[in-house]
Amino acid sequence: MSQSSAWRRDWPLMLALLILAIITYVPFVFTVINSFKINAQFFQEFWLPTTPLHPENYARAWPAMGRAIVNSFSYSIPTLILTLVISGLAGYAFARYRFPGRNLLFISILALIMIPGILLVIPMFSVIIELDWDDTLQGVVLPWVSVEIVFGTFLMRTFFETLPREYFEAARLDGANEFSLLIRIAVPLAIPAFSTLAILNLLFSWNDIIWPLVAIFDSERLPVSIGVLSFAGAWSTDYGVTFASYVLASLPLIIIFAFTSRRFMDGLSGGLSI
């Protein structure tokens, strides 16, 4: 089909998409524009950029937001690694071995999806209080991992089951032990599934509010999801600085997305349509 007839066919769709995109993006573009204004400029001109720009808004927001970003990574990265390792091991065990209690175990893990997370927040809070784990890394990370390995085990099992048995049998005949079958054959083939899980995991740990809200008391240790909330509360009278903090909070994941966009999008749709 030639270029022009494609356009003739597509222009109503493109127009509709453009309108949807504009409505979607206006609030965020507005936020970026106004993050460079001081209050006087904001009250004078609501929608459009004004000069001079005030990048010092970012300098004001940075100490608190930078700390929150570092905190978020310090919680998210261990969560990510543990989730991948533990889900990989469990999914592999369910996919490759037959053992007594296999189905019962798997169903009882899947059933956890039905339990609302918020119900478990209270008893989990009592557990970390008893262990004296409030304001600690493990107090945030281990409960998060326990949430994420449910779907993770399911995803990895589904993936490992698609791998042909012959690969493993051949390697076993060559004398490989069970652990090296996993490390040398299954894991390299499962990189796409692992990256899906990693992306969903990152979005979850970056966005979760309730658990850090409960498990962290020290405001110096708050992750981005709550740090931006408390910063916005404290600076609510200074619009520019507040908006700058929103932009800073959004940047890390946008940068990660920019470098991995292809895999990111495939991972998002692939992981959930299983």
Task: List the one residue from 14, 40, 53, 70 that touches another protein (CB under 8 A).
Answer: 14
Gap between the Cα atoms of 82 and 171, Å rounded? 27
Residue 261 in contact with another protein, rule: CB under 8 A: yes
Residue 195 CB, nearest approach to another protein (Å): 15
Gap between the Cα atoms of 198 and 240, Å rounded? 34
Binding segment for another protein (CB under 8 A), chosen from 52-60, 73-81, 187-195, 247-255, is: 247-255
Residue 159 CB, nearest approach to another protein (Å): 15
Task: List the one residue from 190, 197, 224, 244 that touches another protein (CB under 8 A).
Answer: 224
Task: List the one residue from 137, 187, 214, 234 that touches another protein (CB under 8 A).
Answer: 214
Which residue number, 51 or 269, has a Cβ lying nearer to another protein? 269
Task: List the one residue from 109, 185, 187, 234 that touches another protein (CB under 8 A).
Answer: 109
Binding segment for another protein (CB under 8 A), chosen from 28-36, 52-60, 73-81, 186-194, is: 28-36
Task: List the one residue from 110, 163, 234, 268 that touches another protein (CB under 8 A).
Answer: 268
Gap between the Cα atoms of 8 and 117, Å rounded? 50
Spatial CA neighbour of 201 closest among 123, 137, 146, 262: 146
- Residue 192: Cβ within 10 Å count: 14
Residue 9 CB, nearest approach to another protein (Å): 6
Binding segment for another protein (CB under 8 A), chosen from 19-27, 56-64, 73-81, 187-195, is: 19-27
Angle between helices 137-161 and 117-130 (to 10 degrees): 130
Which residue number, 59 or 93, has a Cβ lying nearer to another protein? 93
Token code pair at residue 162: 């698609």
Residue 256 CB, nearest approach to another protein (Å): 8
Which residue number, 4 or 51, has a Cβ lying nearer to another protein? 4
Count the site residues for another protein by CB under 8 A.
Answer: 98
Residue 86 in contact with another protein, rule: CB under 8 A: yes
Residue 42 in contact with another protein, rule: CB under 8 A: yes
**Footprint of another protein on 111-150 (CB under 8 A):** 112, 114-127, 129-130, 142-143, 145-147, 149-150
Residue 27 in contact with another protein, rule: CB under 8 A: yes
